[in-house]
Amino acid sequence: MSARYDSDFRAIFHSEDRGDLDFFRALVLATDGDLCEVGAGTGRVLLAVAPLAGTRRVFGVEPSESMRDRLVAKLASPGSPRVEVLDGSFTELPLPEASLGLVFGAFRSFQHVLTVEAQLAALDELHRVLEPGGLLALDFFDPAYHILKRSRPTLGACYGTPDGTTVERWESREVDRVAQRVDVTFRWIERRPDRSVVHDEAATYAVRYTFPNELIHLLARSGFEAIDLRGGYDGRPLGKTPRELVVTARKRPGSKAVR
Ligand SMILES: C[S@@+](CC[C@H](N)C(=O)[O-])C[C@H]1O[C@@H](n2cnc3c(N)ncnc32)[C@H](O)[C@@H]1O
Looking at the structure of the chain, the number of domains it has is 2
- Top pLDDT among 70 and 242 is at 70
Q: Which atom of ligand 1 is nearest to the CA of 205?
A: 15
Distances (CA, A) of 20 to 10, 44, 124, 179: 14, 10, 25, 28
| Whether residues 69 and 184 fall in one domain | no
**Beta carbons within 8 Å of 128's beta carbon, 6+ residues apart:** 93, 97, 98
As beta bridge partners, residue 206 has 183
Q: What is the SS3 assignment for 34?
A: coil
Mean pLDDT of the chain: 94
List, for residues 1-41, the tens digit of each pLDDT value: 677 888 888 878 888 899 999 999 999 999 999 999 999 99
> Cα–Cα distance between 152 and 205 in angstroms, integer?
16
Average pLDDT over residues 201-214: 96
Co-location of 51 and 169 in the same domain: no
Residues in the chain: 259
Mutate which of 38, 107, 112, 140 to test ligand 1's pocket (most atoms within 8 Å of Cβ)? 112
Q: Are residues 232 and 192 part of one domain?
A: no
Residues 250, 252: Cα–Cα separation, whole Å: 6
User: What local confidence, expressed as pLDDT, does residue 1 receive?
Assistant: 66
- Assess whether the C-beta atom of 129 lies below 6 angstroms from ligand 1: no
Q: Quick check: CB of 108 below 6 Å from ligand 1?
A: yes
pLDDT at 8: 84
| Protein residue whose Cα sits closest to atom 27 of ligand 1 | 41
Q: Looking at the domain assignment, is residue 125 inside a domain?
A: yes
194 Cα to the center of ligand 1, angstroms? 36
Would you say residue 196 has pLDDT above 70? yes
Inside any domain, residue 137: yes
> Does the structure show a pLDDT above 70 at 89?
yes
Predicted local distance difference test score (pLDDT) of residue 91: 98
67 lines ligand 1 (CB under 6 A): yes
pLDDT band for position 257 (50/70/90)?
low
Tell whether ligand 1 has an atom less than 6 A from the beta carbon of residue 110. Answer: no
C-alpha torsion sign, points 139, 185, 68, 117: positive
DSSP symbol at 89: B
Q: How far apart are the first and last CA of the chain?
A: 37
Residues 87 and 23 in one domain: yes
CATH of the domain at 175: 2.20.25
Residues 30 and 157 in one domain: no
Strand order in the sheet with 181-191: 151-160, 166-176, 181-191, 197-208
Q: Is residue 258 situated within a structural domain?
A: no
Alpha carbons 110 and 104: distance in angstroms, whole number: 9
Q: Please give the residue range of the domain that contains residue 200.
A: 151-208
pLDDT at 258 over 60: no
Q: Is residue 215 part of a domain?
A: yes
Q: Residues 141, 229, 131, CA angle at the centre, nearest 5°? A: 110
Is 257 among the domain residues? no
Which protein residue has the closest C-alpha to ligand 1 atom 10? Answer: 109
Residue-wise pLDDT tens digits, 35-70:
999 999 999 999 999 999 999 999 999 999 999 999
Instruction: Please identify, by atom number, the ligand 1 atom nearest to the C-alpha of residue 9.
Output: 9
Answer yes or no: is 94 within a domain: yes
Contacts of 105 (CB under 8 A, 6+ apart): 37, 38, 39, 90, 137, 138, 139
pLDDT at 79 over 60: yes
Residue 182 and residue 219 in one domain: no
Residue with the larger pLDDT of the pair 163 and 240: 163
User: What's the predicted TM-score (pTM) here?
Assistant: 0.94
In a domain, 56, yes or no: yes
- Give distance in angstroms: CA of 37 to centre of ligand 1: 10
Q: pLDDT: is 229 or 8 the higher one?
A: 229
Distance of alpha carbon 48 from alpha carbon 139, whole angstroms: 17
pLDDT confidence bin for 168, thresholds 50/70/90: very high
For residue range 107-135, list pLDDT tens digits in order: 999 999 999 999 999 999 999 999 999 99
Domain for residue 256, yes or no? Answer: no
